[in-house]
Amino acid sequence: MHHFDYRNGRLHCEDVALDTIADEVGTPVYVYSSATLRRHARVIAGAFDGMSCLIAYSVKANGNLGVLRTLAEEGCGADVVSGGELMRARRAGIPASRIVFSGVGKTRAEMRLALEEGIHQFNIESAAELAVLAEVAASTGKTAKVAVRVNPDVAAGGHPNISTGKSGDKFGVPWNEARKAYAQIAEIDGIEAVGVDVHIGSQIDDITPMRAAFEKVMGLVRELRQEGHDIQRVDLGGGLAIPYKSTDNPPPPSDYANMIREVTEGLGLEVILEPGRVIAGNAGVLVTEALFVKPGPARNFLMVDAGMNDLMRPALYQAHHDILPLRERPAGDKMRYDIVGPICESTDKFAAERDMPPIEGGDRLAIMSAGAYGAVLSSQYNARPLVPEVLVDGDRYAVIRRRPDFEEMIALESIPDWLS
């Protein structure tokens, strides 16, 4: 569910017409709904009511400070994969004790920062990373609480670029080496094994592979406990799918929670979850303006002012996003368009052969379900400024990241003396 709907023929985010925001801020512009963010966070929390559960929102999905503060006020922790994400979460008011540090390539500086902040745990993905963390922990005199991310060799389904749980993926310790990793940890001062971590992929629309992976992990927990390891937590990652099309029907969080209740029953574990897309995805849209229609011999190209540098998902994953005009159109004639941006790449395409009401230059469109992996993946390719972000709360809104001007875009660059 989301809070974007037509009222009197105008597409609104909550109680604010998107045209109103576009008039003031310009296009392209990301717009997020506070009500949708809150609702999704509450639905997930409610599904796990009665369980010992840390909902560590995946900052990589959308790390804007306004979004993070909104979720911090709902009691969310954070799953981070860099020092920058850690500092964002802390700046937004998320306690370090509710932050989990994931990722395959943490630097020594990032490890030191996390230890000094006092985070909940590190998710370790290799023996080499463990050795580096041990050195850093020893140098700081602190103990690092860790979970080993195991690779269960379970296919999640969906796009191969977001599969993370097969044996050929770069993520996690191979399944047959997991117990050895815990035995090594037991011999290292300054490292305390407190949990097991697993994450098999993203945009998973069937919880069957999740259950298969989680059941393997619970078997490992039992074995580790029998071997004397004090395993108190399981981090089950994220990955629950959202509907990008009206015909999509992903499993609800309640089904996901009930499955986790069943597989963890009797183990007395704290469950850590890392939802990202399922909270932020349908809470945001990218508003863009049509420039003109370019007729072609085989198809019509609808040129818009947003590009693949602003929303990478269609180019990167061939992802579908519904696209709606900001002004509601009566049912009637349709035109078929390739909806494309101004970037000098053939992959700069938001939709191919999409049936839409007739669109003219100056009409505005909303690219739906753009709240996750949208602005965070954007760039300044073709010397285009980063897109501003706006947060709506009821009948009010605020620009939570403004569009930089040209001088700000080049402020970090300089011309060497020998070229002057």
Of the given ranges (16-20, 159-163, 284-288), which has the lowest mean pLDDT? Answer: 159-163
Q: Which residues pair with 291 in a beta bridge?
A: none
pLDDT band at 153 (very low <50, low <70, confident <90, very high): confident
- Which residue bears the tokens 């109680």? 15
List, in sequence order, every residue forming a beta bridge with 285; answer none if it has no partner: 31
Q: What is the pLDDT of residue 166?
A: 45
What pLDDT was estimated at residue 54? Answer: 98
Q: What's the rounded mean pLDDT across residues 212-235?
A: 96
Closest by Cα among 308, 326, 328, 418 to 373: 308
Section 288-298 average pLDDT: 93
CB-based contact 317:405 (threshold 8 Å): no
Give the C-alpha separation, 334 to 359, whole Å: 10
The structural domains of the chain, ordered by start, are 4-31+281-409 (2.40.37.10), 103-273 (3.20.20.10)
Is the confidence at residue 382, as pLDDT, over 50? yes
Angle of helix 83-91 relative to helix 65-72, nearest 10 degrees, comes to 60
Structure token digits, residue 282: 């349908």
- 321, 244 Cβ separation under 8 angstroms: yes
Q: Could you give the residue ranges of the DSSP H alpha helices within 253-348?
A: 253-264, 277-280, 313-317
- The model's confidence at residue 155, banded by pLDDT at 50, 70 and 90, is low
pLDDT for position 165 = 41
In percent, how much of the chain has pLDDT > 70? 96
Residue 159 in this model has a pLDDT that exceeds 50: no
The pLDDT of residue 170: 62
- Distance set, CA 49 to CA 43, 44, 265, 271, 406 (Å): 10, 9, 14, 12, 49
399-412: per-residue pLDDT in tens?
A: 999 999 999 999 99
Handedness of CA 145, 88, 380, 408 (dihedral sign): negative
Q: How far is CA 81 from CA 4, 31, 310, in A?
A: 31, 25, 22
Question: Tell me: the pLDDT tens digits for 316-352?
Answer: 999 999 999 999 988 888 999 999 999 999 999 999 9
Q: Which residues are designated catalytic?
A: 344
How high is the mean pLDDT of the chain?
94
Report residue 307's pLDDT band, with 50, 70 and 90 as the boundaries: very high
